[in-house]
Amino acid sequence: MENILGIIGTITGVLGLFLAVFIAVRQVQVEKMQAQELERQKQEQARNNRLTFLADRIFDSSIPRELRQPFYEEYISMKGNGTAVKFWLLEGEKEKKTQI
């Protein structure tokens, strides 16, 4: 009887150890996924901040157009679109009309 209880105790201990290792490995995986998600969000925020900065320079008519050109080119290279691009193109069309 004592042998049976010893075997049951050993089996229970081994199963508990496997369960603890499984939980620890799973926790590490979850933390790694969270860290990757945080890094992705950080990169996305940095990209959005840069696009906002570039758009602000594009919209700033107090800066001569030729000096704003690099900002526009970087904005386009970052796959920026929307009102900043439309503004730039419309502004260019207006300049062409006034030069004619």
What are the extents of the domains in the chain? 26-99
- What are the pLDDT digits (tens) for 11-23? 999 999 999 999 9
- What are the pLDDT digits (tens) for 39-54? 999 999 999 999 999 9
- The alpha-carbon radius of gyration of the chain (Å, integer) is 30
Burial class of residue 41 in the structure, from the number of CB atoms within 10 Å of its CB (0-12 exposed, 13-18 middle, 19+ buried): exposed
**Dist CA 79 CA 48 (whole Å):** 11
**pTM of the predicted model, to two decimals?**
0.71
Strands in 1-100 per DSSP E: none
